[in-house]
Each structure stands twice: as structure tokens, then as C-alpha cells.
Structure 1
């Protein structure tokens, strides 16, 4: 179907848009629709608004910046198998589905090929990659999608993880490690304890007795809390994170030989430096900058970003490659790192150590005095770093306090690096990416791996310098591969969905700030809001709410831009030691620029990379959850002996059942049940992110400062429970309204 020709570009109606989108075999974006109807820039904002409204009405589905028929699915889906139908066929739903934005997830009928091997057949509770297609008409159960399994990623776990507590009669009990299972301890009979001893982390099969009482049988001992760094061990096993390299992988890594100059440019005279955290074990990026000598680029610079050439050692299809894809990324815990690659590769052959020859891919970028990139090239080189610096050390030198290492580097290396960064800042300010002010905390451990203290590391210009250099190189990589028509994995970040925007708009009204309803959405609009609340009492609150309105960044083989960075095309190129996406981009660059035979495998296309993107996005979310839970457990251990102590904090979340409170000194999160708040019934006001007392008008809102008392700590689950001992704020009532007497209360004077 093609749109009817009209006298001049006229924005189509909603019905016309739905009809046009349904007529397309493939997903279409705003660009394709605008081109089809001849719309110019001034009409695209109106088109965007209409498409959002159609998505909100459920008439179309919006997959990032692509539109398709309602409840549509991409060709490759990460899905959870949830049930079987009456005929025994498997039914799945998408694992990554935002119901707030897109409604109920569509069901997928799993079609298992007759010749499938056992490991390729999913079961109920499994997570798998499915290649999906939409059938012309829904079947008798109303299911419109079929999915063929590509790979089963996570087998269903019919076991429970917990800590074994031995009892005198030879039996035991299991203390669950999951917050949701708190208070539901399992009994383990004396004959079912296996070889578990007091304090062991164990996997237990759950069975039901005649009267429904649950009992457990120890099936596997996973480690000892007494002898190992057990807090991260819990998260590793709870999330199924691969953490032991096979003998085949280690053999491949140990047999790897250092790369030579063959097939590479010799860049060993370029004085690259690495700038990393002081405790970094591997160094996969190095930088150098110099003023551009081209008279046509006055005030410009040439910037070189060298990235460890991991592709030279990790070849497609090898055991190391398969393991790296399975892991997806390195996982960083306060007490250990679970690396994506063996140490022989990550900490040795690919670590850009000073005064040692190392293979690298280099992005050479020329920028103008305004910081805008004018051109770039990619090179496969042998380089040699001249120094390993940490952020505070580099910043001290730039501030006039050089040490023995940085003093000889000032004029040749550090001063040009900072001068080029000043130009990049101009381009960044003009681009105006999202600029949230939410400090990150770091846990410092004692030698016994318990918490010493929690700090907020200072954000230095040296941090921002490296960030801007890496962003510039990532953009250059994406542009090069697009120009060469080579498939790649993008790092993408969608703009906020309509539901979240409406919720944000309603919240901002409560503090007399407006968010426009029409026109193209830009990060600068959020930055304007953040600047208005800078230094005001609800600065933290607004930063938190704006953050929650944002979509989650992910990997994809289709490009819909990076909203937070305000970039049209962006790919991860700069950390192939710890992210599989970057390794794929390196291979794509090697193929596109003909830099060797170890590029993308033959036949690699967007569909194949879509499968990889789905897997590593899931691995990234798995790592984030494991890291967050480990921090929660460490701090809960740290605070367990301080029951009854009071702390200063702020409300970090509001739900119907109560408040989540974040402590100011440690960043620890705990819960305050609504039933303990006070002598009132508290109504949940979603738009205001608040609980408000019906009779008293007393309220607690997201971001409010509070004083809390710690009443319970469950270190194994990482859970804390608080009571608020400070008063809430009083919400002004309309004229003529009066506070009512509190309604009836339960035990202890609390409303039940």
C-alpha cells in the first residue's frame, strides 16, 4: 500500500497511519513514514505525537523507533516458556516486555523441530531464544505468533538456594537467600542433609508432604560461608553466572602467543598513556592527543584512542569465544571479579601495560576547535604505552601537582589531552546529553572481605576526559560500519515511553514545573528541569524521578539511536576485554577495513547479530542484578549488629505497601511497611510519588529526608527493615476541608 498523493505534505490521520503500517511487511520507523508521505522536519514532531498516541491506544506497537502492528514482535525474541496448552504444546512470552508501555505480552506458540537435539528443546520455566513469525490469522487459542527455538539459555531451576543451618538431631533448616522468601524456612530431615555443614550455601530440591508442608533435600553443596567470599558466591549461583573456566578454555588461553608486527602498523613511538582507577587490574584503552598541524583546522586536534586487540586472540567459534558469549560481560563485585575472558588474555596479553608491545585497534579522530569530529580512520597497530596513570594522579598533574611519573609527560602528553578535552566539552555542551546528578557509592572492604566503609568517589575532570574520548571513538566505530554496510551491534537507548512521560508530567505539576506535551523530545528538556531544581530541597527527588522515567539501554542489531547521549548512532568499541558487544564491533571493523582474517565469520548478518544482542543484553541485566544484590547483602551484614540504631536517609521509593528508604551514609536500602507509619490510613498517590494520610494529611514523598530506626536485618537475603521516627510533611488541604479523626486501628495503635 502506498499513501495517496496530496497537494503538498499533509500529516496523515491516525486511521491512515494504522492502515499504512499494517500494509508493510517489515517494521517501519518515523523516517520511512515521513518519506512515504513527503513530510518535512516541521511536520515530523506532529507525526511523532500521533504515533505515540496510537501506541498508547494499543492500535500499533512501538518497538523502540520502529512501528508495527499492535503487540508485534521482532524476528528474534528472548522468551520465557510459561506453560503448556491442552495439547501439550509449549507457550512462551517475551522476557523483555514493558507492560506499562505496551500492555499484556503476546503469547508465542513454541514449535519444536522434529530433529531437534535434547539440549535444543526448552521446557516450562526455561528461557530461550526464539525465531518468531506472525501467522496470518490467530489460532483457536487466539495466539498469533510462532517461535522456533534457536538456543535454550537458562534451564528451569526447580531448586531453592539457601544457607544450611544444622540442628542437634542431625536434621537442618534452610534459610533462603531470596528477599521474597524471607520467613519461609525449609525443614531438612536428617537423612536429606547430604554432606552439608553449618553455614554452607546449598541447592535444595523442594517436596511437599501429605499435609502440604514443604521439606527440602540437599542436592548440591555450593560453598561455605565460613571459608569463602560467600556474599558474591550467593549472587553468582542465584543468577546462574558462569564463573569457572573449562579446561578447554584455559588451554586455549595459555597456548596463545603474543601478537607480532606482522600485518600491523608500527605505532610504538606514539606516547600513549592509560588512565584508569587506581585498583584496575586490566587496561584496555590508551589515549594520545596533539594539536592538528593542518592550517585549515586552526585550534583543532588529532585524537588517538587505542583499544586492546582482543580479536587477535579470541577467534570466532573457539572455546574462548563460546564462553565469552555465554558470559556476555565481566561481572564486578566488591570482593571479586568474574571476568569474561581468562586472565592470560584479560590481564596479560590484552592489557596495555607500560613499556610492553601490545596489539591494538586505533581510532584516529580529527576534531575542530568546536570539538566536532571532522573525520576519522581506523588502524590495526602494535603500540607501547609509556605510562599507567590513575585518575587522581592525572588530575593532580593537570592541576599543577605532578609527581615523578607525570612530570615528564606534562607538555607532550597530558596538556594536549586536556586541551583536546576542552574542545570536546564544547561539542558536548552543544549536544546537551542527559545530565543526571546521582552520585555512585563504592564499598571499601577490610582484609577479611567485610565492609570497612562506603564512600562516594570524587568525580574528576580526568574521569570526564576519558569518557568523552571513549564516546567519540564509539561513534566513529558505528559510523564506519554503517558506511561500509557491515552488520554490527549498536548500543541503543530509547526515549521515554508515553506512560512514563505522562507520569513525569503529572509529578512535575506538583512542584510547579511543566513538561511540554508536543514537539520532538530531547535530553535538553530534562536538563532544563534539572537545572531549575539545582540546590533546592527537592533536587534529589527530581533527579530520581527523571531517572525512573528513562528507558533502559540495551544492545540491538537495529539502530534507534541513543537518547541519553543524544547521538544518532552509537556502538560499544572501547572495552572488548569485558564486553562481548565490543568484541563483535572489533571483528566487524576488521572485516569492513580489511585488517585481517579474524573478523566476522562468513554469513554473519543482522539476524545473527540480533540473536547475539538479545543474549548479551540479558547477560548485562543478570550482572546488574547480581552486583546490586551483593552490595545489599554486604551492607546488611555490616549493619546487622546495629539493631535499634537510628540513621539519616531519604525516601528512595514509594509503593502502596510502604516506603523504601535509602540511608545517606551507606546508600543501604530498607523497607518501611505502611502499617508502621503512624496513626492514620495512608493513601498511595502515584502522581506525587507519595503516601498521604487521609485524616492527618501527613505525607512521605520520594526524596523526603527521614530519620529511621533499624528494626530487622537479614544479611543472607540483603534485606533491612526500618521504622520512621521523624515526622512527615503536612500536605495543605483545600479551603473548607478539615482533617478527620483517624479511623479504627489494630494492635499497637497501628492501622491494620
Structure 2
């Protein structure tokens, strides 16, 4: 018999296993025989605290304890938040629980689990009211995996690369799932021996089907991909906006410049030379942004759904939009030759790119053309086509204004990370036909600079008018990450300033040192990884990466809810109408910031996982082939390698490196062979063989062939036998003479 747990241990275990029975608790702690009497006494005490629900007689009406675990449900049509009791064993209907939030509560979404204090209050459509005590975590009932059938039912093999266990499914819990089928399952509690149990709650079809790749990510990360009927109905009732009450800017030569495969157009731009003699060489810039606030009114079904989604999510084969297509792809999209409502910003800059004045207008516009980046770039290089010839003067002024803005950008020194962006090309059937790296033009940077300036202007205006808003915040990196980057720079022969307050210009100096060298991509990637993640906040903490004191997202309201909030703030600040910020928006601003920041992270993870799976599917036919790449990560269990050809990341397990024991130094991120001194570190050039490509998980397993042209040791006498003498270590730190020589070469370029 095991020693009885104390009350704190029981509370912790029950919080992690809220659906467990008293028998499960006894099994988990190995309580048998007479000790069960003592355990029952402790459980009765926990019942009194509300940690454990009281037992009910069969057929009783049942009631919730004052403290219980709840699962948050989706908000209803009125935006009210409801929850369900995780533990409800009465035969009567489960009670309906209204969940009341406070302004300082963390953001809660559908599926989150909380410990809550509940009170029986009979409302018009609910039985209890609940308030948060603490957030327990996201509902674990989201196992996404492949079902493997067996005589005893089967098992679910999770598709997550990091999953370390399967889940056992009893015959009566399979829901008829077939072998190899993608399924959703929910756990049924942990057992002391063998795999934990689960039951199938949804069958999702063939996981190897070409177009299932993004569907897997959508389900895995909880991306909302189906609009409720009420949302679609409301969107279908939308009518084109009227000119009344708006400035008429339809004569301006505004144009959109987007990727060739853009699904929507939410920003249009133009520039003209400023004829004011007081501003020689200056320009007048216009940035017009789709007036989504005119269609998505506060408190509407569209608004609530957009807030839940937080943003659009983009996959190679589909988009999960924040707004229904009739809005995102039509009424709000700034299509060529049609009238569209917008919030337009007029800015005046001088010849050095400094913004002198700006003012906002609620207006009606008509785009002259929808250009691609390639068309705009070609026009700047003198290669006009039928679409750009009538806009030649306007495009010349646009690029003139861009070059003036470059002066201001160079003085400000925002972080200048340059990493290639992959483009996955799919066939009509959804199979990968090629993987390429997108070419980046001045036209891309032009649009980016216009949008950054517009976002700054929005933040400045709202701050000056005393309006609440959501800032885009990017805090400076931690000292620990800076030291790791500094060590990597030192290993690569470069330097990163130390002993002073780091600014973006210091990072740019490091990036400039690496430019054109074999470490270029590595230093760019490591610098990016050292940065903190940007997020939304109602308070302004500045934007480190852009080297800006205040910054807000204003330019993409079709695909980001934060921009819609900023638009409403501008509407309220300028008194343009009754569709500005409401009191509810203001009261829940912090909660909204947290919710949409979390939604953004979910979307990024889903997009990244989808790309990994498509790359794995693309490489399945090349298992056994050799590739070149660079070490992108070093861990105790192996080495991560980024392949040159596709940019895909694969893992060389520690067992596949060489026939000796490797010691891992987490500070320098180095693996070193105990017998030979063979070293593997970040940035080294490697040759690998593709051992395995798993499209369902997106995982690539590699075998290491060479590091900087040298093969790892292969010891015929076994991994730990004695044999060859210690040889020169690959990738050791450069000597002082070698560093000086390299530095002299860089200076002489």
C-alpha cells in the first residue's frame, strides 16, 4: 500500500483530472484495503470545499457545488458567455451556467477550463451564475490523430510531432472509425498502467488526401472555419455604403498593389509631388483603407464572430477569413473601378521622408487599378504594360516618395532582418508541384513603408485626442537571449555590442557584418529568434523592432480585428457616426487585446504546421536522396537542419550522428563527441540523407553524412570502444589571427 496523499496533492490531481471518479483517484494513488476509509474521509473534506462534486443519489435532481470546474462555451447570439459543468453525473438535464467576466480576468475562449465559484440564480435562460477563480487551461478534449484499428477497439496516434504517447480506444468508443482515418478524440482519464483511454468524437476522413493538410491544422489549432448561419444572414443583408456624409475622393488616382494571388484588397495608395514652395522636394501621400467599420457594427453577429476569430488565417490552398466572403472579397474590398467606402489618410512628407502633417477623412474612393508587385516593379524599371501605362506619372511619384521615406527609415534604423519567404505552389488537386523562394522587390518595401507611416499616424492621432486604442507592442529582447545571440556571433567571427542599452542599429550592424558571408541566413534567423513576440495591448510599450515610440495596426481591417478597433476609435474621435467604439468595447479592451493576440499565435502555428506538412509530402518521393543544408538548432536529442533547396527543417536524431557519445552544451549550443572531439554547432554546413518524410505530422528525419566536409566517426568496435585518436574539431572557435584576417577582408570589400 502506498502512503496516503495529502490534501494539496489530491487538489492538484483533481484539478488536472476533473472528470475522474473516486475509483480513479484511489487507483492513481495506489490506495487499497482499509486505507480507502481514510481516503473517503479526505474526499468528503474536499466535497465540502467544492473541489470535488458531492455524490448524488441516482435519479436525483442534482446541484452544483459552490466551487467547480467549468468548460467555457462559445458566446451566444447576444455575446453572453456560458459554460458547462465538466462533472455532471445526475440523470437530470445539465444546468445552464451564465459566466460573468471582470475587466481583469484573462481572455477566455471556447474550450478553456476554469475553476469557478458558482451561485444558483434562476435567470430567464440559465440556472447558475459563475465567476472565475483561476484558469486551469485549455480543454484537453482535442486529440487529433490517426485511428489504428485492432481487435480490442483501437488506438489514436496523435499527429503532433512532439506527442509521446498513443490513446487506447475501447470498441464501443470508436464511432465506427476505419483504420487509417483522421479522427478527433477526447480523453477519458489517466490510468496507472498502459496507454490512457479516449473516445472518438468526430471522423475527419483520409489524412493523406491532398487537401486534408490545411484541414488538419484547422482542427488541431481550433481555427473557426465555419460561419454560423446568423453571421452569414447578417452579411447577406449588407448593402453598399452611400456617399452621404463622406468626402468624395473618387477623382484621386488611388491604386492597390498586392501579391498576384491576393484574396482581398484593403489598402490603396498614391503620391504626388508637393507644389508648396515651403516644401521643396516633398510629397503628398494618400493611404486609403477599406471602411470595414461601416459594415461590421459593434455588438452585431458579424462583430462577435470577427472578435472570436481575431484575424484571417492563410494556407497555401485556402483562406479562413475573419469576415464572410461577401464582405472580405466584395463589399469591403477595394476592387478596381468600383466605389468603395474608406478611411483615408493624407500625409505630407519632406524631401528626407519626415512626416510634416497628416489628417484623416471618412470618404468614398474608386481604385484606378489593381496591380501586382511585379507590375509595379517593372513600371519603376521602365517596363510598362497596358495596366501601368496610364498610371506612369503616378507610379513615378509613388517610387519618388518611397525613396524619400527610405532616408527617414535609414535614420530610424528599424530591425533589418532579411529572410527568404517560401512559396508553395499547388496543383488543382492540391498536390505540391514546386517549392520556391519569393523574390522581394522595392515595390514590396514601398507598400510596407506607406503602411508603417499610416499606422504611426493613427496611433499619434488617437493618443493626441485622448482616445482608447489597441497598440501593437514589441518589447526589447531579454538579456538571456542577447547573450546567446552574442555567443553565436562570436562563434561566427562577428561582434554584437555589449555593455550598453541595445538598439536596433546594433543588431543591424551585426546583420551587416554577416551579409554576403556563409553565415548570412544563420545570423538573420538567430536575430529573429532572439526577439520577443509582438502582441496587442491597450497600453503603449513601444515597438522595438520598428524603432517607434507608438504604433497601432490600422491598415488591414478586413483580416485583423485590432485594425477594426482602431477604425472605430477614429470614427469616435472624429465624430463621424454612431459606429465607433462602444462602452462595451472600452470595458473589454484588455480582454480583446489578449484574445486576439492568442488568436494570432494560433493562426501562425497553424500556418507553420501546414507548410511543414506540405513540404514533407513534397519530399516523400525523395526519401534516400542527399541534401545540403545548415545546422539551425542543436539540442540534447539531436540536430536540426534547414535544407537549402526547400527551406524545410529536419531532425538528425542523436543516434544517427556517429558511433560515439555526444555531450551537449546548452549555452553554446554545441554537441561534442566524447571520444573524437567531433563538434557540431549552429551555422555549420552539412550534408544529410533524407531517412523519412511523414506528411501527417510534417516531420523529416535525416541522417548526418558530413559536417563542413568531414564525416562523423564510425567506430567498428562500437559506440563506446576505443579507437582513433582525437582529431581536429570541426567548427571550433576561430583563432585571433584568423579573425583578424577575416575582418581585414571584410573591410577591403
Q: Distance in 2 between matches of 1:175 and 1:203?
A: 11
Higher CA-based Rg: 2
Summarize deviations over 1:400-429 as a string: whole Å, max 9, x none: 110111111101x11111111110011111
Question: Could you tell me whether the CA contact under 8 Å between 1:360 and 1:380 is conserved in 2?
Answer: yes
Give unmatched runs, 5+ long, in structure 2.
1-14, 19-42, 52-66, 88-98, 107-129, 725-749
- Of 315, 329, 334 in structure 2, the residue corresponding to residue 347 of structure 1 is 329
Equivalent residue number for residue 469 of structure 1: 450
1:101-116 map, 5 Å: none
SS of the equivalent of 2:144 reads strand
Equivalent residue number for residue 353 of structure 2: 371
Summarize deviations over 1:419-442 as a string: whole Å, max 9, x none: 111100111111111111211111
Equivalent residue number for residue 553 of structure 1: 534
User: 1:446–1:514: structure 2 CA closer, same or farther, 3 Å change rule?
Assistant: same
Q: Distance in 1 between matches of 2:660 and 2:138?
A: 47
1:161 maps to 2:144: yes
User: 1:730–1:110: structure 2 CA closer, same or farther, 3 Å change rule?
Assistant: farther
Q: Distance in 2 between matches of 1:511 and 1:226?
A: 42
Q: Distance in 2 between matches of 1:404 and 1:225?
A: 45
Equivalent residue number for residue 423 of structure 1: 404
Equivalent residue number for residue 689 of structure 2: 709
1:578 maps to 2:548: no
Equivalent residue number for residue 221 of structure 1: 203
1:388 maps to 2:388: no
1:486 maps to 2:460: no
Question: Could you tell me whether the CA contact under 8 Å between 1:120 and 1:151 is conserved in 2?
Answer: no
Equivalent residue number for residue 218 of structure 2: 236
Q: Distance in 1 between matches of 2:207 and 2:492?
A: 48
1:589-600 map, 5 Å: 589-600=570-581
Equivalent residue number for residue 180 of structure 1: 162
Equivalent residue number for residue 632 of structure 2: 652
Q: Distance in 1 between matches of 2:595 and 2:651?
A: 33
SS of the equivalent of 2:82 reads helix
Shift of 1:675: 2.5
1:530 maps to 2:504: no
Q: How many residues align?
A: 624
Question: Could you tell me whether the CA contact under 8 Å between 1:494 and 1:562 is conserved in 2?
Answer: yes
Summarize deviations over 1:483-530 as a string: whole Å, max 9, x none: 001000011111111111222233333344443333332100010111
Equivalent residue number for residue 612 of structure 2: 632
| Greater Cα offset, 539-548 or 255-264 | 539-548
User: 1:390–1:746: structure 2 CA closer, same or farther, 3 Å change rule?
Assistant: same
User: 1:705–1:299: structure 2 CA closer, same or farther, 3 Å change rule?
Assistant: same
- Of 632, 639, 652 in structure 2, the residue corresponding to residue 672 of structure 1 is 652
SS of the equivalent of 2:157 reads strand
Question: Could you tell me whether the CA contact under 8 Å between 1:130 and 1:150 is conserved in 2?
Answer: no
Give unmatched runs, 5+ long, in structure 1.
1-80, 92-108, 135-146, 732-738
SS of the equivalent of 1:724 reads strand
Q: Distance in 1 between matches of 2:359 and 2:264?
A: 26
Shift of 1:131: 5.2
Q: Distance in 1 between matches of 2:140 and 2:323?
A: 26
Q: Distance in 2 between matches of 1:245 and 1:287?
A: 32
SS of the equivalent of 1:726 reads strand
Equivalent residue number for residue 320 of structure 1: 302
Equivalent residue number for residue 142 of structure 1: none
1:300 maps to 2:282: yes
Q: Distance in 1 between matches of 2:548 and 2:716?
A: 53
The alignment's TM-score, normalised by the length of structure 1, stands at 0.77
Question: Could you tell me whether the CA contact under 8 Å between 1:123 and 1:156 is conserved in 2?
Answer: no
Q: Distance in 1 between matches of 2:443 and 2:295?
A: 31
User: 1:655–1:601: structure 2 CA closer, same or farther, 3 Å change rule?
Assistant: same
- Of 132, 153, 168 in structure 2, the residue corresponding to residue 149 of structure 1 is 132
- Of 194, 209, 213 in structure 2, the residue corresponding to residue 212 of structure 1 is 194
Q: Distance in 1 between matches of 2:69 and 2:635?
A: 40
Question: Could you tell me whether the CA contact under 8 Å between 1:132 and 1:148 is conserved in 2?
Answer: no
Q: Distance in 2 between matches of 1:661 and 1:476?
A: 42
Shift of 1:248: 0.2
Q: Distance in 2 between matches of 1:160 and 1:211?
A: 20
Summarize deviations over 1:260-284 as a string: whole Å, max 9, x none: 1011011111111000000112100
Equivalent residue number for residue 477 of structure 2: 496
The CA RMSD over aligned residues, in Å, is 3.4
Summarize deviations over 1:540-585 as a string: whole Å, max 9, x none: 2222222221111111111111111101110000000000000000
1:261 maps to 2:224: no
Equivalent residue number for residue 102 of structure 1: none
SS of the equivalent of 2:378 reads helix
Summarize deviations over 1:587-641 as a string: whole Å, max 9, x none: 0001111111100003644x62111111100000000111111111111122223
